[in-house]
């Protein structure tokens, strides 16, 4: 799978060339439906042939050459794709990229001047890793989840120093009441336990900061009181990307991976919803947002976009316009994101496209 910078480089390198861009949905579970992607892709390729029926023979031969290269890539597939999605970018010069994707894609073939990369941005959201910590009062297991793989990083343990009561194994001193000393011993042991747990959580939080940096989603689980205390410590540097979940400290790695993926989706959707809500609420008031396709296209033409947001519905209904917008965003160094969940629902009510701006356009001075 390509990174964002690799996708941008690929898109720029293929401008001006005829490209067959192919996306495949590999999510079918029913054996009877697993080859449905092949039928859908064949239909899509036939549609391209019909569309080019009146074009120059050279272009039609170019397409067929690319299709043959595509078939070579698909030859290794069995009944299913083996991953949620797959994508390839092919020209007469060769296959420039062909790889599995961690998210479903609508099965389609696109023949265009330049690569069709807008759908690919959905997959790029999966590049953001998840750091998960499962903790109780004595240990914190730190994991990293990335591209459907869970890796145990390390275990941070609590070390308690408990001083044994002086009378244990010795003859009690005159005037000593064992009940009083026993209570004090238990209190000291409890204080040591709490102090050890606190040190452990501080160490675990620092390890999460090192592993996750400034970007990773962070998930805490395990014993309720402990996971909440850990979340409090993590909030000092990651307050807007933490989620505390109910998952047992004895959960299997398969259960942890499933929980990490679900938590990442929850955090992404919440972040998307917050950004879109801010644009909706303040676009006109601050002048730092553009809402709707028309306003967003105007800002893209001015080269002022910092982040471009689009929805899946907009991609489906306005594929060509979406591709033009994405290329314009790439040209001005803007990030591109396909929003999901509640954010997509909200943005679709405004046409399916929005942008955050680099700077406010100052009003033109008027003369009397």
Number of C-alpha atoms within 13 angstroms, CB side, residue 79? 7
What is the model's pLDDT at position 365?
40
**Topology (CATH level 3) of domain 4-121:** 3.30.960
For the chain, counts of helices (H) and of strands (E) = 11, 13
d(CA 346, CA 340): 10
Residue pair 266/243 in contact (Cβ under 8 Å)? The answer is yes
Residue pair 335/310 in contact (Cβ under 8 Å)? The answer is no
Q: Which CATH architecture has domain 128-168+178-251?
A: 2-Layer Sandwich (3.30)
What is the model's pLDDT at position 195?
78
User: Where in 82-148 does DSSP place strands (E)?
Assistant: 85-91, 94-101, 108-113, 130-135, 139-146
**Torsion angles phi and psi, residue 80, rounded to 5:** -130, 175
Which of 196, 210, 248 is closest to 227 using CA atoms? 248
Grouping H, G, I as helix, E, B as strand and the rest as coil, residue 357 is strand
Using CA atoms of 270, 275, 280, 281 in order, give the dihedral in degrees to the nearest 10. 90
- Domain spans, the chain: 4-121, 128-168+178-251, 276-357
Q: What angle do CA 7, 12, 14 make, to 5 degrees?
A: 95
CATH class of 276-357: alpha beta
Residue bearing tokens 């070390």: 159
Burial-class residue 95 by CB neighbours within 10 Å (0-12, 13-18, 19+).
middle
d(CA 250, CA 223): 10
**pLDDT tens digit at each of 368 positions of the chain:** 999 999 999 999 999 999 999 999 988 766 666 678 899 999 999 999 999 999 999 999 999 999 999 999 999 887 778 889 999 999 999 999 999 999 999 999 999 999 999 999 999 999 999 999 999 999 999 999 998 899 999 999 987 555 555 555 555 555 555 544 555 656 665 666 677 789 999 999 999 999 999 899 999 999 999 999 999 999 999 989 999 999 999 999 999 999 999 999 999 999 999 999 999 888 776 678 899 999 999 999 999 999 999 999 999 999 999 999 999 999 999 999 999 999 999 999 999 999 999 876 554 443 43
Q: What is the DSSP letter of 303?
A: T
d(CA 307, CA 2): 20
A 10 A CB-CB count for 159 gives 10
């Amino acid at each position: 799978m390509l990174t964002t910078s690799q996708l941008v480089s690929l898109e720029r390198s293929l401008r001006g060339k005829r490209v067959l861009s192919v996306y495949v949905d590999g999510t079918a579970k029913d054996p009877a439906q697993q080859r449905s992607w092949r039928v859908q892709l064949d239909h899509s390729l036939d549609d391209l042939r019909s569309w080019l029926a009146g074009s120059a023979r050279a272009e039609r031969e170019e397409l067929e050459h690319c299709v043959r290269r595509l078939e070579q890539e698909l030859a290794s597939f069995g009944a299913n794709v083996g991953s949620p999605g797959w994508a390839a970018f092919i020209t007469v010069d060769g296959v420039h990229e062909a790889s599995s994707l961690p998210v479903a894609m609508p099965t389609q073939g696109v023949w265009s001047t330049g690569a069709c990369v807008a759908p690919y941005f959905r997959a790029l959201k999966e590049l953001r890793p998840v750091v998960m910590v499962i903790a109780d009062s004595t240990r914190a297991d730190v994991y990293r989840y990335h591209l459907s793989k869970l890796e145990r990083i390390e275990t941070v343990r609590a070390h308690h120093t408990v001083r044994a009561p002086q009378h244990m194994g010795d003859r009690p001193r005159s005037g000593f009441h064992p009940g009083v000393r026993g209570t004090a011993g238990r209190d000291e042991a409890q204080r040591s336990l709490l102090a050890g747990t606190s040190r452990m959580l501080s160490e675990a939080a620092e390890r999460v900061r090192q592993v996750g940096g400034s970007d990773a989603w962070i998930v805490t689980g395990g014993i309720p009181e402990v996971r909440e205390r850990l979340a409090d410590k993590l909030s000092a540097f990651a307050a807007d990307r933490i989620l505390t979940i109910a998952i047992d400290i004895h959960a299997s790695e398969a259960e942890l991976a499933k929980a990490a993926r679900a938590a990442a989706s929850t955090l992404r959707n919440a972040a998307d919803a917050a950004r879109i809500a801010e644009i909706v609420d303040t676009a006109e008031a601050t002048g730092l947002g553009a809402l709707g396709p028309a306003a967003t296209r105007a800002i893209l033409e001015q080269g002022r976009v910092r982040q471009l947001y689009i929805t899946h519905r907009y991609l489906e209904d306005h594929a060509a316009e979406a591709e033009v917008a994405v290329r314009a965003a790439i040209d001005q160094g803007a990030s591109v994101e396909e929003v999901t969940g509640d954010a997509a629902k909200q943005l679709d009510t405004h046409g399916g496209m929005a942008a955050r701006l680099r700077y406010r356009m100052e009003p033109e001075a008027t003369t009397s």
